[in-house]
Structures are given as C-alpha cells and as structure tokens.
Amino acid sequence: MKKMTKVSLSAAVMAVTLLAAAACSSAPAAVEESASKPDSKTSQFETIKPGVLTIVTSSDLTPFAYIKDNEWQGVDVALVKHAAKNLGLTVEITAHEFDTLIPLVAGGQADLTMGSIADTDVRRETVSFTLPDIIGNNALIVPNESKIADEDDVKGKKIGILQASQALEYAEKYWTESEIVTFPSNNAARLALSGGGLDGILVDPQSAKQFTDQFPLKFVLSAVNPDDRGGAWILNQDADKLREALNEELRTALEDGTTQKILDKWNPADNSQPVIDWLTEYYEANPSNLYSEE
C-alpha cells in the first residue's frame, strides 16, 4: 500500500474541507439557467452579473411561475425567457419564499421577480414595475339553461361569491344591482348554484374550468376590473435601461401574438382574449417604455 506524503495528505484534507463547506452552503434551491449568448449590447443593462438576468420567484405560483418535473414553467417564466433571449441575456431563476421576493430585488440581490405580482402604490415606493403581462379576471358560471349572457343580465340576479375575494370586491363595485351572497369556499357556492339557490357564481378561472367540466354549468363572461394595473415584473428602481428594454419586448410580444400563445399554453383554464384586450388598451394608454417611472 502506498504511503501518503505530507503534501498529498494536506491536499486530501483541503478537498474534504471544501466538499463539506459546499454541502453546508445555503444557496437557493431550484436554480435554472437558460443560456443565451451575451453580446456587447447587454452591457447597457443594470444586471447584477454581466449578461445574466438574475430572477427570484416562488416555486408555487401556478400557472405563472412554478416548478414541475424539476423545471421552471408557467406564463411569466415562458414570457421572460422569450424577452431575455431577444435581449441576449442568460436567465437564472431561483426559488424563494414569496415575502422575500420584493426585498431581494429592492436590495440589489436580484434583478427581477415575477409571478403575477400586483402593481401597487405601496410597492412602487421601493421597486419599479414593467408594463403588466397579466390581468386578473373572474368567470361568471351559470346553469346550462340560464339566459344570462352579459353583465347587463346580472342585474337583479342572485350571485354567489367567495368571501374576502377579489371577485367580491369587483361585484360590490360594479354589480350593485345584483344580490350578492358570500360563501366560505367556491365549492360551497357551486353547491348552492347546483341546488337552485343562485343564478350564478363568480369564481377564479381555474375553479370555473373545474366546475364546467364536471357539472351542467357553463361559462358566460369574464369580469375584469378596469382600475387594476395588473400583474407585472418587478425591477430595482435603478434599472432604467433594463426596464425600458423589457417593456419594449412586452409590447412586441403582445403585438406579434406571442403573449396570447403563451397564455393559451400555460393557462388554458382562463380565457385569454379578455386579458389580451385589456393589455392592448393598457399599453396604448401608457405609450412610454420608461413605464413605470416616466
């Protein structure tokens, strides 16, 4: 058996030490890199790493950003990869707790966070937003034999809605001539509808698809709050060039049909057309790519 020299022994000890340190490191889990060959134009962007778009998000924001089969998937994931590729940026995504996402971007530890995160005045105090890429909407579900076809037909009708929900906020503001009944769950509202106690229920698109697939119910309309700014990507307030470039990519994706294709693929439970219509109007009303800091 070969004797170990002092040099080889020291090397072995160092190797073991390095392996132990690596094993004990606390690097974020679920890292995904999407390669795109950087070029000289990426140097203008205010990214933490040259040529790399460092993204943090939660791993369970279905259908916008989530991990399945050890891969990042979803509406925002597909759209941001599309934009980054066009800009010559490599994408690096890591998973974190939701309440840490905005502080990580505001503190300069990440370039971007995403996942249908609402653009609000409070959040704008510490970060900036791109143009929205999604708008929340709620689906009105009625029995197959119902004559309800549009929002005018909801007047005087009894509508079931999940308590403390965005759908309830919408109905209380815009459906003031309807009788609103709140329920502790969407399924409880659905049971009341199937039992004949309601004329319709206003629920999220995922629940709507589940109910219309399983019961003699149909989707009749999407309700979108016109005062909403939608969900957008969040950047550091100093990333002006990056924000401007991403906004331009979002406009192009909307115009050439990429956004709708991504919505249809990754969020099939939600009718994409009302979202596309809202985004089109919103982009026209906000023509500057310096949005949200003009």
Q: How far is Cα 222 from Cα 204, in angstroms, rounded to an integer?
A: 10
Whether 234 contacts 251, CB under 8 Å: no
Q: How far is Cα 80 from Cα 233, in angstroms, rounded to an integer?
A: 9
The domain tally of the chain equals 2
Phi, psi of 67 (to 5 degrees): -110, 130
Shared domain for 55 and 198, answered yes or no, is: no
Shared domain for 59 and 122, answered yes or no, is: yes
Model confidence pLDDT, tens digit, residues 118-162? 788 888 999 999 999 998 778 999 999 999 999 999 999 999 999
- H-only helix segments in 39-114: 75-87, 101-106
Shared domain for 41 and 147, answered yes or no, is: no
Name the residue range of residue 186's domain. Answer: 137-224
Q: What would you measure as the largest C-alpha separation in the chain, in angstroms?
A: 92
Shared domain for 69 and 194, answered yes or no, is: no
In a domain, 15, yes or no: no
Q: For residue 293, which of 257, 242, 258 has the smallest C-alpha distance?
A: 242
In a domain, 234, yes or no: yes
Whether 123 contacts 233, CB under 8 Å: no
The percent of residues above 70 in pLDDT, for the chain, comes to 86
The CA angle 145-165-80, to the nearest 5 degrees, is: 100
Model confidence pLDDT, tens digit, residues 4-30? 343 343 444 333 333 333 333 333 445
What pLDDT was estimated at residue 20?
A: 37
The pTM of this model reads 0.69
Low-confidence ranges of the chain (pLDDT < 70): 1-40
What pLDDT was estimated at residue 33?
A: 62
Q: For residue 266, which of 151, 133, 119 has the smallest C-alpha distance?
A: 133
What pLDDT was estimated at residue 106?
A: 97
In a domain, 270, yes or no: yes
Shared domain for 131 and 141, answered yes or no, is: no
Q: What is the CATH number of the domain that holds 216?
A: 3.40.190.10
Shared domain for 41 and 113, answered yes or no, is: yes
Which of the listed residues 224, 251, 268 is the one where a domain comes to its end?
224
Pairing of strands 52-57, 200-203: unpaired
What pLDDT was estimated at residue 191?
A: 97
